[in-house]
Structure 1
Amino acid sequence: MQELYTQSATYSSSLEVSKVLRNTYALLAMTIGFSAITATISMAINFPHLGLISLLPYIGLLFAVEKTKNSGWGIVWVFALTGWLGLTLGPILNYYVGVSGIEPILMALGGTALIFFGLSGYVLVTRKDLSFLTGFIMTGFIVAFVAMLAAYFLNISGLSLAVSCMFLVLSSLLIMWQTSNIIHGGETNYISATVTLYVSLYNIFTILLSFLGGSSDD
């Protein structure tokens, strides 16, 4: 009897994990498509580059998502967040199109897709538990954010490159960590999972674009 109960609980847990994964990937695909639309609009209207000011709405929208992630409003705020990030991406894309053409953008998109599917696929196949990375990733992002502010205000080009590399590595680790967290039952909210993956992909894409666009410019 106990064995049957254990098997039933395991089956139910497996179904829940599959549901969270399915909902996460579906919402992620929709938000990427939506932000592509807002980025296109942003490029068409020559939306200005806001710099660090764009972080204020971003932080506010992140807070709204977190507060409503267990309700239908959470999905509304997720689209608002990803739409805003797409809008702020427009000026960056316009810059690189003007400097290097569309090739670096396509290469950055391809590289981002390869990184995402490669890392997610690795975790899904091996089913590794990466919960031990939690503290390292959180500390790394705090250090990287502080270093980013220092590089911005002190205008240190070498530090900016180091910060970009830090964010690239940390965002890649975050994709693996979040995927692992889902399949091991640590993350049961697909809205939170979607935001984590989306922001990681956004970081990776913009960093790859800066590398590829810069090398094309050179």
Structure 2
Amino acid sequence: MASNQYAVAQQTAGALATNKVLRNTYLLLSMTLLFSGATAGVSMAMNLPHPGMILTLVGYFGLLFLTNALRNSIWGLAAVFALTGFMGLTLGPILSQYIQAFANGSQLVLTAFGGTGAIFLGLSGYAVTTKKDFSFLGGFIFVGIMVAFLAGLAAALFSMPVLSLVVSGAFILLMSGLILWETSQIIHGGETNYIMATVSLFVAIFNLFLSLLHILAAVAGQER
């Protein structure tokens, strides 16, 4: 009897901890998305130039490393906002470029934004309600991201538009898988740090949005 009560208490404590991580993750994710959107808006309003591929990668991976190092302290929150704010600053010039290059640029951006929101809500809602274990996707996603990242660099360096579109399509699938995987990790106790869970989901949403925007522009963009 006592052992059964102890087991129930453990399960209850585990469920409460999981719900807390999930709640904190979604709260922090909402705040970082708003902050990133604000910094992107500032970047567009000030007509800031894009920092370039090298500075973007150095800033991203540097702040990502800093966030990971500080993930268990209060400074981890500051690092998360620094990372997502920086990503917003780099996003602003990209959005300005689409809006200026295409007559329906604003529509493309809004469509990509709506599509990203619908995909995220649908996938995360599915993972939460079904509570399916998507841990098996972890290795495939990691390898896929590495391959797609390198292919994307090659497409940018050697101006290969077809390869660039293929990479965008691959990233849509990979980021969708990452959303399922990370949400599943939280639900099943594989991820207990809401700061790192937020970073993972934010990066998935960010890349999903850019990939959708790229494909939409190629398919439905009306060049000026």
Please give the residue correspondences for 1:7-156 in structure 2 after superposition, counting only pairs within 5 Å.
Answer: 7-53=8-54, 54-98=56-100, 99=102, 100-156=104-160
Give 2:72's aligned amino acid.
N
Secondary structure, in 3 states, of the residue corresponding to 2:146?
helix
The Cα of 1:216 is off from its aligned counterpart by 2.2
Secondary structure, in 3 states, of the residue corresponding to 1:102?
helix
Distance (Å, rounded) in 1 between the aligned partners of 2:105 and 2:142: 36
Distance (Å, rounded) in 1 between the aligned partners of 2:97 and 2:204: 22
The Cα of 1:50 is off from its aligned counterpart by 2.6
Give 1:63's aligned amino acid.
F
Give 2:207's aligned amino acid.
N
Give 2:194's aligned amino acid.
Y
Q: Runs (4+) of structure 1 moved beyond 4 Å?
A: none
| TM-score (normalised: structure 1) | 0.97
Q: Deviations over 1:19-58 (max 9, x none)?
A: 0000000000000000111001000111112331211101
Give 1:171's aligned amino acid.
M
The Cα of 1:101 is off from its aligned counterpart by 3.4
Give 1:65's aligned amino acid.
T
Secondary structure, in 3 states, of the residue corresponding to 1:19?
helix
Q: How many pairs does the alignment contain? A: 218
Is residue 200 from structure 1 mapped to residue 204 from structure 2 by the alignment? yes
Is residue 216 from structure 1 mapped to residue 218 from structure 2 by the alignment? no
Distance (Å, rounded) in 1 between the aligned partners of 2:217 and 2:19: 38
Distance (Å, rounded) in 1 between the aligned partners of 2:75 and 2:125: 30
The Cα of 1:132 is off from its aligned counterpart by 0.9
Distance (Å, rounded) in 2 between the aligned partners of 1:128 and 1:51: 40
Distance (Å, rounded) in 2 between the aligned partners of 1:101 and 1:162: 21
Contact 2:123–2:180 (Cα < 8 Å) also in 1: yes
Give 1:217's aligned amino acid.
Q
| TM-score (normalised: structure 2) | 0.95
Query: CA RMSD, aligned part only?
Result: 1.0
Distance (Å, rounded) in 2 between the aligned partners of 1:200 and 1:51: 21
Unaligned 5+ segments in structure 1 are none
Distance (Å, rounded) in 2 between the aligned partners of 1:107 and 1:96: 13
The Cα of 1:187 is off from its aligned counterpart by 0.2
Contact 2:43–2:93 (Cα < 8 Å) also in 1: yes
Distance (Å, rounded) in 2 between the aligned partners of 1:68 and 1:30: 19
Secondary structure, in 3 states, of the residue corresponding to 1:217?
coil
The Cα of 1:207 is off from its aligned counterpart by 1.1
